[in-house]
Amino acid sequence: MPGNAAWSISWNVVRDIQEMWSLPSMVNAYRAGTIIAVTAGVVGWFMVLRRQTFAGHTISLAGFPGAAGAVLLGIASGYGYFGFCVAAALVIAYGARPGNREPANESALTGVVQAFVLACGMLFVSLYGGFLNQVDNLLFGSILGITDGDVILLAAVAVAVLGAMAAIGRPLLFASVDPDVARARGVPVRLLGALFLVLLGAATAEVSQITGSLLVFALLVMPAATAQIITARPGLSLLLTVLIGLVVTWAGFAFAFFTIYPIGFYITTFAFGAYVLAYLVRGAGPVLAARVSRLRSANDAARAASAV
Amino acid sequence: MSLFDHPFMVSALLAGTGIALACGLVGYFLVLRAQVFTGDALSHVAFTGALAALAFGVELRLGLFAATILVALLLGVLGKRGRADDVVIGSVFAWVLGLGVFFLTLYTTNRSGGGTGNATTSVLFGSIFGLSGGQARAALWIGIAVFGAVVAIARPLLFATVDEAVAAARGVPVRLLGFGFLALVGVTTAEATQAVGALLLLGLLAGPAGAALALTDRPYQGMVISAALAVGSMWGGLLLAYYVPKLPPSFSITAVVTVVYAAAVVRGRLRSGRGQVAVTAA
């Protein structure tokens, strides 16, 4: 059990990992974590590139009423997650009218959708009555009790989402980087945008079953934001995104296992640490380069002076 | 027995009116500046602020106001001209939310016994029917103060919003206005969190403003419509929750806001559709 005092951490990392993986549920948690880190990384990379963080956040929150509604109706929560996330994606994709005020209209629409889905979630919880701890799990996630079946289902969804992303990846990249030129070349920009949001919905529905609705967003945005600070090359930064996501998730699970603090705190903190580090290094790079070149020119000047 | 004989209902109406006034007007500028995401981020920051205050045993409102105003200003510092990039906002608040979960654990493990989920649900979803008379009056006055402050800076803020470069060239302190506005958003968020909860105040910020934008292109008219719709939705939602006790007030308020927004958007489209037909016919 995570947080149980019987599982004490030692400086022997190998022994710690062996101890942790001696529990089948922890092995499954790591399998699930690996799958969701890859899926969230790839989808999140496009989300950050397209600057659709607000839409992504709203869609990821739609999982909460979905799951609460499914519990209320007595069906599997997976249906609720997928139904609500994909529906929210469609409303956001097609609800905003293109025009001169599109950014303002879209942001208003997204805000209303978000408030409304959360209010629905609250209504479902209050109609269901009681079990407030379950609300915490829906919102903040739990890595306990992941079964083999859950892992297989996660993998299947991940393969479907990643396959679809691979199929639309190139035109989507084109449409994201330069929509006007892409439209002129006959790329269906609007359709691709809608398709992407639906895939984002499916991916968040998957991820939030493990991380909870409030924390999916961290896995979507932070690894991708970090990678895109480090490099501007698409292929490399996509790879980095997945890598950062994996490291953050694995480390988060391990720390959550050995301490009493929740998984969401560790994952967000590690990811944010990587982000700040990347930011500082990039900011420090030019400053250092300038200082080095100044030193070098001072040296050159001194040498020239001594030569005279 | 009439509605106004219940002290809780009178408190809710007083507090709700103040909060709605502030949210309607602040929200109009948020939408116009396409900054609703900032409001979203701050509402989550409010959650963390409140839980931090609970965890350390200080006054809840202190945590709320300190967290939202500080982070609002931080978001301004991180961006150009007092506006932060969405990705920066997203990364910052995702982490702040993680911190909130940390404080939640700290709070629930340090306290002996008791319901663990109550604190979370009341911070996230609000409890407007649970306000005392004093709290309600404070909410009303803070709401009116924010409303007045936004009215006072409305003209230059509008200029800076619509055409930032020209406003800056004309000597409007664009950056300072951006910061001032963000601080007001922070105050509004903290105040509204106590009534409708961290997760639902976004509806009050975005809904009436989006509706006003769909109904009129004139900015001053839009401000009045937005504030009026916000107050109207608040009253409608409170009445609905009063007569249908099964509905939590935060839900009914948000539901009314959503319906008002949807109606306004449909009306705006029908009108512009008719306009287009007229143009083609001519």
Asked if A133 lies within 8 A of B117 by C-beta distance, the reply is yes
Least confident of A73-87, A132-146, A206-220, B23-37: A132-146
Q: What number is the ipTM of this complex? A: 0.86
pLDDT in tens, A182-209: 889 988 988 999 999 999 999 998 888 8
Which structural domain range is residue B205 located in? 3-281
B207: which chain A residues are within 8 Å (Cβ-Cβ)? 108, 111-112, 115
Is A119 near chain B, with CB under 8 Å?
yes
Q: Which of B34, B104, B254 is nearest residue A115 as measured by Cβ atoms?
A: B254
Q: Phi and psi at residue A287, in whole multiples of 5°?
A: -60, -45
Q: Residue B277: enclosing H or E segment and its boundaries?
A: helix B249-281
- Kindly write down the DSSP assignment for every residue of chain A, as one continuous string: -TT-TTS---S-HHHHHHHHHTSHHHHHHHHHHHHHHHHHHHHHHHHHHTT-HHHHHHHHHTHHHHHHHHHHHTS-HHHHHHHHHHHHHHHHHHHSPPSTTHHHHHHHHHHHHHHHHHHHHHHHHHHH-S-HHHHHHHHH---S---HHHHHHHHHHHHHHHHHHHHHHHHHHHHHH-HHHHHHTT--HHHHHHHHHHHHHHHHHHHHHHH-TTTHHHHHHHHHHHHHHH---HHHHHHHHHHHHHHHHHHHHHHHHHSSS-HHHHHHHHHHHHHHHHHHHHHHHHHHHHHHHHHHHHHHHHHHHHH-
pLDDT in tens, B90-132: 888 888 888 888 888 888 776 644 444 566 667 777 778 888 8
Q: Residue B74: enclosing H or E segment and its boundaries?
A: helix B60-78
The dihedral formed by the CA atoms of B245, B247, B253 and B255, expressed in degrees to the nearest 10: -140
Chain B: closest CA distance from residue A176 (Å): 15
pLDDT at residue A289 greater than cutoff 60: yes
Residue appearing with tokens 């951490």: A9
pLDDT in tens, A126-181: 887 755 556 666 777 666 677 888 889 889 999 999 999 999 999 999 998 888 89
Nearest-angstrom CA–CA distance, B56 and B54: 6
Q: B243: domain CATH number?
A: 1.10.3470.10
Closest-CA residue of chain A to B125: A122
pLDDT at position B1 is 60
Of B112 and B56, the structure prediction assigns the larger pLDDT to B56
Residues 6 or more apart whose CB falls under 8 angstroms from that of B108 comprise: B116, B119
Q: Which of B30, B251, B269 is nearest residue A123 as measured by Cβ atoms?
A: B251
Chain B: closest CA distance from residue A267 (Å): 8
Quickly count: other Cβ atoms within 10 Å of residue A100's Cβ. 8
Asked if B94 lies within 8 A of A272 by C-beta distance, the reply is yes
Query: For A13-307, which CATH class?
Result: mainly alpha
Tell me how many domains chain B contains: 1
pLDDT at position B83 is 61
Interface A:B, Cβ pairs < 8 A: 195
End-to-end CA gap in chain B: 59
